Amino acid sequence: MDKITQLKRQRRKIIKQMPPFERILRTTISKYYLTCGYKKCRCHKGEKHGPFIYLSLTEKGKTKMYFTPEEIVKQVKEGVVNYHKLWENIYRLCQINREILWLKKKWE
């Protein structure tokens, strides 16, 4: 099997491993413990409320925080993992495409 055929096979394999696009999230997950406004509450003595899960996302130079309900935290984490997998796969696809282009001296 020649080099180009091997590269094409690798490329098809990577494309099949791509995460589903509807399950990709570009965000950062943060966990916060908060104090409330009630002065006699336990949170003012060190036992804070939480954890509360927030997503942070930078859009147009501004960071926005979004409260995340507990029932979707697992899905959000999956979306973040998928985002990183997507970019790893894109990086590898670009390497393969470059190698094919160099070997063939033209796009397919």
Would residue 69 count as lying in a domain?
A: yes
DSSP string across 16-57: HTPPPGGG----EEEEEEE--S-TTSGGGGT--EEEEEEEEE
In this prediction, residue 11 carries a pLDDT of 96
Residue 31: domain span: 21-104
Q: How many domains does the chain have?
A: 1
Would residue 43 count as lying in a domain?
A: yes
Would residue 87 count as lying in a domain?
A: yes
| pLDDT of 107 above 70 | no
Q: Output the pTM of the full model.
A: 0.78
| pLDDT of 108 above 70 | no
Q: Which two tokens stand for residue 98?
A: 């470059």
Query: Cβ(70)–Cβ(54) under 8 Å?
Result: no
Would residue 1 count as lying in a domain?
A: no
In this prediction, residue 37 carries a pLDDT of 92
Query: Cβ(65)–Cβ(54) under 8 Å?
Result: yes
